[in-house]
Amino acid sequence: MSIFTGSGVALITPFKENGDVDFEKLKELVDYQIENGTDAIIICGTTGEASTLSHEEHLACIKACVEYVDHRVPVIAGTGSNCTATAIYLSTEAESYGADALLVVTPYYNKATQKGLIAHFTAIADSVKLPIILYNVPSRTGCNILPETAVSLAKNVENIVAIKEASGNISQVVKLAALANGCIDIYSGNDDQVVPLLSLGGKGVISVTANIIPRDVHDMVTKYIDGDTEGSLALQLKAMKLCEALFCEVNPIPVKKAAELMGLCGGTLRMPLAEMEQEHVTKLRNAMIEYGAI
């Protein structure tokens, strides 16, 4: 059984003006997502600025999210690291808090061979009982999970059950789907490729854009699964200009600004992320107005 089907939001982490995590705003964001149909909450992923959280903050965010969601939807905790021991520590702690699943990114900076990836993910999976979603985002990590590697892990490690595919390489995803033959669930990690991945048997999306238009991202997946492919495609195409604006600077700079423009939370970022360029703010605001998000 899949961890979730539909739209999982890669949730932003709200910060106060002094840079502290704003846990009250985090609760409000969770409610906003659930009230608008989001099917799963992904906490402390790339969009959640996990790389700038201390271990204590990272785990506090996971714990707070799990407790507040209170089984309304699955909570998937980002627990990856470029250090296998650190990923195991974060993963076992998240499991102890009651997370429903883990999202584990490939090692970054030090990278790994495909043999190293198998050893890395297997060691993490063996440390917990929770289902694991592999996270393939080579543009950020410099490390690509090849289809053969993902299939090998899914077939040989019981709790590695899914992959978030954010390579942007549709040909690679086609090969993955063909080799897997259903042995691993595939989630789109690119908001501009949701429908293409659904057409390859994908189960849904782990979405940045869902922070801003959660109902429509949910409906995009649901319509496709229910057989309304034209309706699903219409939502995908409608969102394209907004998606472009949300990625005109490195994620999560634009989506944090979009949340601020909507009054959902402050737009405070942690360095080295910097305030969005004004010309890009204008582009984002115009795209949001045209879409009807504000």
* Contact residues for 160 (Cβ-Cβ < 8 A; gap 6+): 121, 125, 131, 132, 134, 153, 154, 184
Q: Which residues are catalytic?
A: 135, 164
Q: How far, CA to CA in Å, does 74 sit from each of 100, 102, 148, 200? A: 6, 11, 28, 24
Euclidean distance between the first and the last CA atom of the chain, given in angstroms as a whole number: 37
Tokens of 75: 């909570």
The span from the CA of 142 to the CA of 158, in Å, is 27
DSSP character string of 181-234: TTSSEEEE--GGGHHHHHHTT--EEEESGGGT-HHHHHHHHHHHHTT-HHHHHH
Tokens of 289: 């107005």
